[in-house]
Chain A
Amino acid sequence: MDFFLSLLVKGLTLGCIYALVALGFVLIYKATSVINFAVGEMMMLAGFLITAFVGLYGLPLAAAIGLSLLLMVLFGFVLERGVLRPMIGRPVIGMIMATLGLGIFLRGFAPVMWGVDKKNLDLMLPAQPLRLESIVVPPVDLAGVGITLFLLACFAYFFQRTRSGIAVRAVADDQQAAMAMGIRVSTVFALSWALAGITAVAGGVVWGNKIGVDQYLSLLGLRVFPVVILGGLDSIAGTIIGGLVVGASENIFGGYFDKYVGGGLKDFVPYVLMLLVLMVRPYGLFGREVIERV
Chain B
Amino acid sequence: MINRECGVFRTTYQADMSLYGVPLARITVAAFALFFALVFPFVVDHKHLVWANFAGISIVAAIGLNLLTGYTGQISIGHAAFMATGGYTAAIMTTRADVPFWVGLIAGGVFASAYGLIVGLPSVRVKGFYLAIATLAAQFITEWIINHVEWIGGGFQASIIVPPASLGPVRFDTELEKYYLVLALVVLAVVAGLNIARSRLGRAFVAIRDRDVAAEIIGVDIFRYKLLSFMISSFFAGVAGALYVYYVGTATIEAFQISRSIEILAMIIIGGLGSILGSIFGAVFVVVLPLALEDILEFFRGVLPVTDIDTFVSQLKLMVFGGLIMLFLMVEPEGLNRLWRNVKDYFRVWPFSY
**Is the CB–CB distance between A101 and B124 below 8 Å?**
no
Bound Cα distance from A112 to B312, whole angstroms:
6
B136 within 8 A of A: yes
Q: What is the chain B residue whose CB lies nearest that of A83?
A: B326
B66: min CB distance to chain A, Å: 12
Q: With a 10 A CB-CB cut-off, give which of B123, B133, B144, B266 has the most chain A CB atoms.
A: B133
Question: In the complex, which of the residues A35, A97, A267 contacts B140, with contact meaning CB atoms closer than 8 Å?
Answer: A267
Q: Mark A96-112, 1 if CB is under 8 A from B, else 0.
A: 11101111111111011
Q: What is the chain B residue whose CB lies nearest that of A96?
A: B132
**Is the CB–CB distance between A268 and B140 below 8 Å?**
yes
**Is the CB–CB distance between A93 and B75 below 8 Å?**
yes
A87 within 8 A of B: yes
A78 within 8 A of B: no
**Is the CB–CB distance between A102 and B75 below 8 Å?**
no
**Is the CB–CB distance between B144 and A108 below 8 Å?**
no
Q: What is the chain A residue whose CB lies nearest that of B269?
A: A97
Bound Cα distance from A98 to B69, whole angstroms:
16
**Is the CB–CB distance between B325 and A92 below 8 Å?**
no
B127 within 8 A of A: yes
Q: What is the chain B residue whose CB lies nearest that of A276?
A: B137
**Interfacial chain B residues near A159, Cβ < 8 Å:** none
For chain B, residues 211 to 229, give those with C-beta under 8 angstroms from any C-beta of chain A.
212, 222
**Is the CB–CB distance between B148 and A111 below 8 Å?**
no
**Is the CB–CB distance between A294 and B319 below 8 Å?**
no
B315 within 8 A of A: yes
Q: How many residues of A contact B (CB 8 A)?
A: 47
A274 within 8 A of B: yes
Question: In the complex, which of the residues A35, A105, A226, A278 contacts B319, with contact meaning CB atoms closer than 8 Å?
Answer: A105
Question: In the complex, which of the residues A98, A109, A271, A294 contacts B125, with contact meaning CB atoms closer than 8 Å?
Answer: A294
**Is the CB–CB distance between A105 and B125 below 8 Å?**
no
**Is the CB–CB distance between B137 and A87 below 8 Å?**
no
**Interfacial chain B residues near A279, Cβ < 8 Å:** 122, 125
**Interfacial chain A residues near B266, Cβ < 8 Å:** 97, 101
Given contacts A103-B322, A105-B323, A261-B148, contact A93 B69 (CB under 8 A): yes
Bound Cα distance from A97 to B271, whole angstroms:
13
Q: Mark A271-294, 1 if CB is under 8 A from B, else 0.
A: 110110011001000000001111
A223: min CB distance to chain B, Å: 10
B156 within 8 A of A: yes
Given contacts A98-B329, A108-B315, contact A225 B133 (CB under 8 A): yes
**Is the CB–CB distance between A292 and B141 below 8 Å?**
no
Q: Mark A35-52, 1 if CB is under 8 A from B, else 0.
A: 100000000000000000
Question: In the complex, which of the residues B77, B124, B127, B137 contacts A274, with contact meaning CB atoms closer than 8 Å?
Answer: B137
Q: What is the chain A residue whose CB lies nearest that of B223?
A: A294
Q: What is the chain A residue whose CB lies nearest that of B145?
A: A268
Given contacts A94-B329, A278-B122, contact A112 B127 (CB under 8 A): no
**Is the CB–CB distance between A112 and B319 below 8 Å?**
yes
Q: What is the chain B residue whose CB lies nearest that of A106?
A: B322
B146: min CB distance to chain A, Å: 11
Bound Cα distance from A194 to B177, whole angstroms:
56
Q: Mark A190-228, 1 if CB is under 8 A from B, else 0.
A: 000000000000000000000000000000001001100
**Is the CB–CB distance between A264 and B144 below 8 Å?**
yes
Bound Cα distance from A90 to B136, whole angstroms:
21
A116 within 8 A of B: yes
Q: What is the chain B residue whose CB lies nearest that of A268?
A: B144
**Is the CB–CB distance between A98 and B129 below 8 Å?**
no
**Is the CB–CB distance between A262 and B322 below 8 Å?**
no
Question: In the complex, which of the residues B75, B136, B140, B141 contacts A92, with contact meaning CB atoms closer than 8 Å?
Answer: B75
Q: Mark B318-350, 1 if CB is under 8 A from A, else 0.
A: 111111111001100100000000000000000
B147 within 8 A of A: yes
B29 within 8 A of A: no
A127: min CB distance to chain B, Å: 33
**Interfacial chain A residues near B128, Cβ < 8 Å:** 92, 292
**Is the CB–CB distance between B144 and A90 below 8 Å?**
no
Bound Cα distance from A55 to B329, whole angstroms:
36
**Is the CB–CB distance between B316 and A108 below 8 Å?**
yes
Given contacts A94-B329, A94-B333, contact A275 B137 (CB under 8 A): yes
B73 within 8 A of A: yes
Question: In the complex, which of the residues A102, A272, A294 contacts B326, with contact meaning CB atoms closer than 8 Å?
Answer: A102
**Is the CB–CB distance between A109 and B75 below 8 Å?**
no
Q: With a 10 A CB-CB cut-off, give which of A97, A100, A264, A272 has the most chain B CB atoms.
A: A97
**Is the CB–CB distance between A272 and B141 below 8 Å?**
yes
A23 within 8 A of B: no
**Interfacial chain B residues near A86, Cβ < 8 Å:** 330
Q: What is the chain A residue whose CB lies nearest that of B74?
A: A93
**Is the CB–CB distance between B144 and A92 below 8 Å?**
no
B265 within 8 A of A: yes
Supplied contacts A103-B322, A109-B319, 17 more A-B pairs, CB within 8 Å: A93-B75, A97-B325, A101-B325, A104-B321, A105-B318, A107-B322, A108-B319, A109-B318, A222-B140, A263-B148, A267-B140, A268-B140, A268-B148, A271-B140, A275-B137, A278-B133, A294-B123
A: residues with CB less than 8 A from B are 35, 83, 86-87, 90-94, 96-98, 100-109, 111-112, 116, 222, 225-226, 229, 233, 261-264, 267-268, 271-272, 274-275, 278-279, 282, 291-294
The 9 nearest A-B residue pairs measured at CB? A108-B318, A105-B322, A101-B325, A104-B322, A108-B319, A271-B137, A92-B128, A101-B326, A268-B144
Q: List 16 A-B contacts (CB under 8 A).
A: A91-B73, A101-B329, A104-B322, A104-B325, A107-B322, A108-B318, A112-B315, A116-B315, A226-B137, A264-B144, A271-B141, A274-B133, A278-B122, A279-B122, A294-B123, A294-B222
